[in-house]
Amino acid sequence: MARTVDTMLELRDYPGRFTKEGATAMAEVMDRFRQGMEELVQKGRREGRQQGQALVLRRQVTRRFGEETAGRMSRLLDETPGPEDVDRVTDALVECATGDEFIERVRLRAVFSHLAERRTQCP
């Protein structure tokens, strides 16, 4: 990368100090920029996947138990569900017979997972 930048600077008649020191600095900046962009793309993909899962979950809950239960589930999960939330909701979706049972199961598992997180964070 530094060689490419070096050549570019020479072709444009930049002073010698830029072609030696500048090429290395420019290559470092470009590498950091590229790395930052890759991280942003990965983050965007993760968030997009999670949002897609949330939409599918809501649709399935709506079809099985109705709009009211789907709304209650959405409020329980707050924002975009994480992988543990998706597992918890899909299990309850299959195992529960009524919307109330479903909501209770999701709520209880949310409370227990929250308590487990707190336990692992405490010394």
In Å, how far are 33, 56, 72, 90 from 63, measured between CA atoms? 45, 11, 14, 13
Count of structural domains within the chain: 1
Segment 83-120, tens digit of pLDDT: 777 888 889 999 999 999 999 998 887 665 654 555 44
Q: Are 123 and 113 in contact (CB under 8 A)?
A: no
Q: Which domain holds residue 59?
A: 2-121
Looking at residue 117, what is its pLDDT?
53
User: What percent of the chain shows pLDDT beyond 90?
Assistant: 28
Distance (Å, whole) CA 82 – CA 40:
18
81: left (phi over 0), alpha (psi -120 to 50) or beta: beta
